[in-house]
Structure 1
Amino acid sequence: MTAYLLLGARCVLAAVFAVSALAKFRAPRDFASALRAMAVVPERLTGVTVVAVPVAELGLGLLVWAPKPIATWAFALAGGLIALFAAVLVSVLRRGLDVSCSCFGASGVPVNRAHVVRNLVLLAIAGTGLAASAATGSDGLAVAGVALALLVAAFASILIIATDTLVELFSTAR
């Protein structure tokens, strides 16, 4: 069972981090603007942060696929990064700022509780991956189990990445 949880956690984190990083690389100005509007890093560090965050996301998305000791550390670091992202979003909400997150590219949806929930879900997935990575031996994987793990991971990844779209859809459908 833990091997399937590990596979699912690897897939979700790799997909979510890859999409997030690529969106930031494609639109660095949007990401920099969001950082400035959130006022979470000093202005002089904005340029470094615009590069460092997507590099960290891509690196961790790849490292969760590494062998056991490296993957375990990658899940722990991914959890730390996600917790940092959640703290930033909570800070933005507490200060009442009307700013979009640019987590997955330019967005017109202001930071809201759904973004925090998304990060808590990702944090739980990173924690699951950490626990599964630390516990997993060399169990074999059955084709049906792999297919199910990949299907669940794909669905979860799409929901996580589409948070802004879903929030916009359900907030205007009233």
Structure 2
Amino acid sequence: MVYAVLTLRLVLMGVFLVSVIAKLRTRRAFGEFATAVRRLGGLPIPLGPPAAVVVVTVEAGTVALLAAPGLDGDGRAGLLLAGGLLLAFAVVLAAALRRGTAEPCRCFGGSDDPISRGDVARNAVLVVCAAAGAVMTPAADAAPVALPAAALCLLGASVAVAAVVLLDDLAHLFR
């Protein structure tokens, strides 16, 4: 179980890290993200940038908690925060879809594709990953981690992160 939890933690950490970096890489990228947050969340214009700052700050905090699980005792806080944040994102995206909003998500930067049910499904799958990691954490805490196995977890998690981040591009490829 320790390796399953480690892999889930690495996947979530990677997804949030790519998300934060993509949003903060340029002023323009952050501005586009702030606009997307405002439009997808149905917020007034002045609330877009502050809401975007809050989202990116919480995402960065999630990365920190996932990277240093010993900070909260048993390591569940990062998984629970990731799951809660992803659930909130799924709810906001689903509500925007119901309103007929055709805005790009900007979850991972510059995609111009409008949000879709696939974005909601992606977040739902990641919520399940976070919940599974949180449930398995007590059993995983007692076992030591072997370096070669941890390296395999990192490799597998890297492939999963790439698939999540490039999901829109992969969907275009197969259409």
Aligned counterpart, 2:13? 14
Q: Equivalent residue for 1:66? A: 69
**Does the alignment pair 1:108 with 2:112?**
yes
Q: Which runs of 5+ in 2 are unaligned?
A: none
Rounded Cα–Cα distance in structure 2 between residues aligned with 1:128 and 1:107 = 29
Instruction: Please say if 1:166 is aligned against 2:170.
Output: yes
Q: Distance in 2 between matches of 1:11 and 1:75?
A: 10
CA RMSD of aligned residues (A): 1.8
Tell whether 2:91 aligns with 1:92: no
Cα distance, 1:53–1:70 mapped onto 2, change above 3 Å: farther
1:30 maps to which residue?
32
Moved more, 49-58 or 136-145: 136-145
Number of the residue aligned with 1:117? 121
- Report Cα offsets for 1:35-75 as digits up to 9, x if no partner: 23224334332221111111111111110232153621221
Tell me which of 48, 51, 55 is aligned to 2:50: 48
TM-score using structure 1 length = 0.88
Whether contact under 8 Å (1:12, 1:153) holds in the other structure is yes
Percent sequence identity is 37
Query: Structure 1 residue aligned with 2:86, among 68, 79, 82?
Result: 82
Cα distance in 2 between the residues matched to 1:34 and 1:70? 35
Contact 1:75 1:129 (C-alpha < 8 Å) held by counterparts: yes
> TM-score when scaled to structure 2?
0.88
DSSP-derived class of the 1:115 partner = helix
Retained in 2: the 8 A contact 1:22–1:54? no
Q: Distance in 1 between matches of 2:50 and 2:138?
A: 32
Work out the CA distance in 2 between the residues paired with 1:145 and 1:156.
Answer: 17
Give the residue type in structure 2 aligned to 1:83.
Answer: L
- Report the 3-state secondary structure (helix = DSSP H, G, I; strand = E; otherwise coil) of the residue aligned with 1:82: helix
Q: Which amino acid in the other structure matches residue 124 of structure 1?
A: V
Other-structure match for 1:3 = 2
Q: Is the 8 A contact 2:22 2:109 kept in 1?
A: yes
Residues paired across the two proteins, number: 170
- For the 8 Å contact 2:74–2:137, the answer to whether it is kept is no
Structure 1 CA distance, aligned partners of 2:127 and 2:5? 14
